Amino acid sequence: MNNNTFIVLAQNAVLLLSLAFLFNLLFEQWKIRRGWLWQLATGALIGGIGCVVMQTPWSFGQGVVFDLRSVLLSIAGLFFGAIPTVVAMAMTAALRWVQGGAVITGISVILASGILGIVWRFLRRHPLDELSLKALYGFGVVVHLVMLLLMFTLPLNQALKVLSEISIPVMLIYPLATLLLGALLTNHLKRQRVSMELQDSEERLRLSLASARQGIYDLNVKTGEARVSPEYATMLGYDPSDFRETNAAWMERLHPDDHAKVAQIFRDYIAGKLPEYRVEFRQRTLSGDWIWILSLGKLVERDAQGQPLRMVGTHTDISEQKRALEQARTAMLDTRRLLETSDQSRLALLSLMEDANETRATLEATNRQLVNEIENRGKAEQNLGKSEKRFQLLIEKSTIGMYVLRGSHFIYLNPRMEELLGRRLDEVAGAHLNSILMADDPQAAGIDQSHTTRTGKARAFNAHAKNPDGTLMQLGIHEIAVEFEGEPAIIGMAQDIGERSRAQSEINRYLLQLETSTEKTLQALSIMVEQRDPYTAGHERRVGDFSADIAAEMGLPEKQVKGIRLAGYVHDIGKISVPAEILSKPRRLSDIEFQIIKEHPQAGYDIIKDIDFPWPLAEIIRQHHERMDGSGYPRGLSGESILLEARILAVADTIEAMTSHRPYRPGLGIEAALNEISRGAGKQYDPDVVNACTQLFRDKGYTLPA
């Protein structure tokens, strides 16, 4: 080995790398699609570079030459694949054949180098742009150890002489040249990937801003000048190409009623009284219409005295959310009016029942008084006229129907009873009770009146009177045994209770209408969210039904179970403020995107907090991502400070999300989901809720709602 060997091989390496840089620059400019034509052209270019490299070899004598074609072909196989490498191998092998000498050895090196590169490309576990310098150097070492072993295709004495002379220079220079050329192409691929990711990120941001009707601003607080995104101008109806934003122009477009509020919030934020700049206001568009804007901002630069210099943030058009909220409030006002009407009906019914009870008590007292007077008739003849007059006054003018039975047959009806039956006394005299009245209770029907007479006990039952026109009137009957004209008899009192039944039916109808109106309002809100994120369509409904089933398993009251179901139907309503592009992103969210997602419980609370529900729906929605150990959001609540309904919703939401398919992953299955909540019992999830949930699945064969 001598210095000339190193010099020639080093010149070879410099030439190869120079040609590789030229190839890299040409490759950057090519616009041809990467089909078979591109692969053939690439192979021809690599082969041409190899032929140039082979023009300055180090010659050992007797036709044995060394150049860097092994470096070029192995790297070609690794980075460009089979077709370009085979073309380059064919071109360099043809030239080596023409050069003569140790042709078999030279062509063997060409074939081995290219094949090793192709095989290494096939077996690699990571993308090419992630190849480390260590891996590239190791690859170069393997290729050129194989090249040195191929020297034994020469006669043994010649092979040993060649190896003793060339081994050290080859193993010092060739792997290093492989490393440098591979690193050059790896960096080229990295630049390509970063460029594509940047373009993709910019396009997603543009689509996200456009779909969410959201614009970005960068305000110079001192000068009032602002740079804005095209979406910002479009939101206001302006042409982005000639729109220029300033603080003065923005104030001119601001609704007069919002000036004081916006100014106060900005002052409080600058003074550090508010953790973030967040305000809603109205802006006038180019057409003169007013739209609602949610503005978020953050100071990113202050001067040496702490005065604000630069502020960046977003403007989001929330007009649709405002309209939806107003519709929901209108629906709830209608619902409240129905409830007030229902309360009035209920009070009327209670008044009617109280009047009936008072009348019944009066009649019972009168009956007792009449019985006493009848029993003492022989002893009080002097009071007979007075008693009869009182009897006639009370009975004939009573608003309660009264009758007298003897042996289950009518012998007397007062005027009110004739009115109730639609018959006069002479039409029913002697008629059996059961031919006129049909008892609603089968046990009361057909009871021998002698039973009441014999035992002396009063009885009460409901019955229907058969009117002559075929209609039925519902009556409440109260009977008691007495002595009438010296013989056992039954005095009965009857009251029309149809009005009470109709009042109760009306109350039930109002209550049903109220419940239906409430549920439809919440369903409408849920549908609004699903339209923003079609990949999770049905998620809220399934979580609501599943949460209610868990609550029922825990033995909660029916009213509370219903509130949990309805809260589940709208628990993600706050996602209406999240850009649709983020909701449907098919890969892992960035930190900023996840922070935006984490705003949805608070946003959902803000949307329905002013609506008066019979259940704490707004607070349940705000707390459904809180966790027992305080690791949740948005307020970091823990333990019993989290509503039980929200703790149930958290478990149901987790199970449903893990078992459902998403664009970025398939469903994980119910066992994986149950294991997850079991591991988190007592830490993230309420252990009682977890226990009820696992019992449903493992002990009762429960399946998730479809």
DSSP calls for 646-695: HHHHHHHHHHHHHHS-BTTB----HHHHHHHHHHTBTTTB-HHHHHHHHH
Question: Residue 632's closest CA among 604, 659, 654?
Answer: 654
pTM of the model: 0.39
* pLDDT for res 205: 52
Asked if residues 456 and 481 have their Cβ atoms less than 8 Å apart, the reply is: yes
**Chain centre to alpha carbon of residue 46:** 54
* pLDDT for res 349: 46
* pLDDT for res 344: 59
* pLDDT for res 327: 78
- 589: DSSP letter: P
How many helical (H) and strand (E) elements, i.e. helices and strands, does the chain have?
26, 14
* pLDDT for res 504: 61
- Take residue 223 and report the two structure tokens written for it: 């000068």
Place of tokens 């707004």: 618
Torsion of CA 98, 101, 103, 104, to 10 degrees: 160
Question: Residue 261's closest CA among 247, 248, 274, 280?
Answer: 280
Low-confidence ranges of the chain (pLDDT < 50): 1-2, 26, 29-33, 211, 349, 352, 356, 359, 363, 370, 374, 377, 380, 384, 443-448, 451
**Chain centre to alpha carbon of residue 439:** 56
- Take residue 277 and report the two structure tokens written for it: 């700049």
d(CA 78, CA 162): 28
* pLDDT for res 119: 92
d(CA 600, CA 597): 6
Question: Residue 444's closest CA among 453, 435, 434?
Answer: 434
Distances (CA, A) of 303 to 235, 310, 322, 566: 32, 9, 38, 51
Q: What are phi and psi of 301, to 5 degrees?
A: -155, 135
- SS3 category, 456: coil
Asked if residues 233 and 240 have their Cβ atoms less than 8 Å apart, the reply is: yes
* pLDDT for res 619: 93
- Take residue 90 and report the two structure tokens written for it: 């064919």
* pLDDT for res 524: 63
- In this structure, the chain runs to a length of 706
